[in-house]
Structure formats: C-alpha cells, structure tokens
Amino acid sequence: METESVDAVLTDPPYSTGGTYAAQRQRPPSEKYQDHDVKTKRSSFTGDNRDQRSFITWATLWLTECHRVTKEGGSCMMFTDWRQLPAMSDALQAGGWVWRNIVVWHKPSARPICGEFTRQCEFVLFGVKDRLARSHRRCLPGVYTQSIVAHQRRMHLTEKPIPLLEALLEVTPPGATILDPFMGSATTGAACQNTGRKFIGIELSPDYFKIAKTRLKAPTN
Ligand SMILES: C[S@@+](CC[C@H](N)C(=O)[O-])C[C@H]1O[C@@H](n2cnc3c(N)ncnc32)[C@H](O)[C@@H]1O
C-alpha cells in the first residue's frame, strides 16, 4: 500500500488470548471463543496462538506498516482484551504511534464469575500519527456500552457489533478512508458503508474473505 494513503486504522486483530496458561491459549479459536454446544459452528482462523514475545514482535511489525500507510494526523483504533492490553499498548508505541487513550467497551451481558470480578470489558487502544487532525469539536465518550452479537447471528467467531464500530468512526473525518488489516467478516467495512467512509479490508482466511465480500455487497443493517 502507498505511504500516507489512509486516514485511520480500525482493527480487531487476533488477540492470542483465551486462557491463563500457554497450553490453553494455544487451542484453536473455534474451541477458545465458541461454546462446544453452539448450533452453527463458525470457521476457525490463524494467528491466534503466538507466545507472548512473538505476539508483541509480530504486532509491532504490522502496526509499523499501518503507521506508514496512515496520513499524518490520522489515528489507529485497535481492539484488545484485559490480558493483552499491556502487550498491545507496548506494540502500538513501538510501531510509532502516539498512545492517546484506552476506550472501554462495556459488555452488559458478560458472564458473571463466582467470587471474582466479572470480565465485562474489552478495550480499544487509541493512537495517533503525530497530532490528531480533528475534524469536529464534539466530545466523544470514553466508555461505550454495547451488547455482544448473539452467537446465532454471528458471521465471525469474534464478531464485533456494528453500532460500536460506527460510534468509534466518529473520531475520523466524514468520507475518510479506513483500513482494517484483520477484517474477518468485514464488520468495520459495514460500519464504514453505514457512515459514508471508504474501506480497505485485508483478510487471510479464504472463508472469512468470502463472507466479507458477500456482506459488503448487501445492505448492512
Ligand atoms: C479477531 S478476527 C476479526 C473479526 C472482525 N472484527 C469481525 O467482526 O468479523 C481477526 C481476523 O484476522 C484474520 N487474520 C489473522 N492473521 C492475519 C494476517 N496475517 N493477515 C490478515 N488477516 C489475518 C483472521 O483470519 C481473523 O478473521
């Protein structure tokens, strides 16, 4: 891709998470992120079982590329969970981004954990290339409450909700070009279509690439 050719990166990379110990994390995503009794099984995907050191190195490599292809003043929004938050904030900065915030996605329907704190949030790390080129003067929230996509309606194992992505895109200018290098079922693409942004998506899995293409041809609500 050309240098300085997109306005923002909005992405949900493989988390390489899903267990306290290495052996649990190395299970395929179809086991880690899907209940065994779910009726419609979704395809697995690759890149989700790196050990911690190679995960940070790998993330730094692609975040550096994302930084190169983003215009000065552009931004990067990247999903992660509580376990990988420290690794990803390191990789974001090692990739050249100026770390500006952690936006919280509060999931009201998270499964309670007996005798412990419920893991009720995922996070969106927000970084900018130099200084954010602001396109409006509205004040955006730092916490978004949004239910997860019901398992029976999911196109991807780890699908993110479209309304959440639409809300995040408010930090980008209308008509902006948005890159998602891990597009999965193209939820970011659908949010871009709904909000008048242009979209570039990259996906390694042929199954999900096909789903993404079909989804982006269809109306997205
Ligand atoms: C967490 S999922 C994204 C899900 C997406 N947000 C959605 O709502 O459908 C990450 C995706 O990245 C893809 N992926 C993994 N490694 C990749 C790579 N090196 N290049 C491009 N895509 C990759 C996986 O196949 C997977 O679909």
Q: Which CATH superfamily is domain 6-217 in?
A: Vaccinia Virus protein VP39 (3.40.50.150)
Q: Give residue 190's pLDDT.
A: 97
3-class secondary structure, 103: strand
**By alpha-carbon position, which residue is closest to atom 20 of ligand 1?**
204
CB of 189 shorter than 6 A to ligand 1: no
Q: Whose CA is nearest to atom 19 of ligand 1?
A: 204
Residue 17: its pLDDT value, please?
Answer: 78
Find the 139 Cα to ligand 1 centroid distance in Å. Answer: 30
Q: What is the pLDDT of residue 217?
A: 85
Q: Are 190 and 198 in contact (CB under 8 A)?
A: no
pTM for the model stands at 0.91
Distance (Å) from CA 197 to ligand 1 centroid: 20
Do the strands 143-145 and 121-128 form a parallel or antiparallel pair, or are they unpaired? unpaired
Q: What are the residue ranges spanned by the domains of the chain? A: 6-217
pLDDT of residue 219: 65
How big is the chain, counted in residues? 221
Which residues of the chain fall below pLDDT 70? 18-26, 32, 34-39, 219-221
Measured between alpha carbons, how far is 114 from 16 in angstroms, rounded to an integer?
25
Q: Check: CB of residue 181 under 8 Å from CB of residue 9.
A: yes
Report residue 195 CA to chain centroid gap. 18
Name the E strands within 110-173.
121-128, 143-145
Instruction: Please check whether residue 51 is in contact with residue 22, taking contact to mean a CB–CB distance below 8 angstroms.
Output: yes
Please state, in angstroms and rounded to a whole number, the distance separating the CA atoms of residues 19 and 17: 6
Q: What share of the chain is helix, strand, coil (3-state, %, to 5)?
A: 30, 20, 50
Q: Of the candidates 48, 201, 186, 170, which has an alpha carbon nearest to the alpha carbon of residue 103?
A: 170
> Is there an atom of ligand 1 within 6 Å of 160 CB?
yes
Mutation to probe ligand 1, out of 54, 203, 220 (largest number of atoms < 8 A from CB): 203
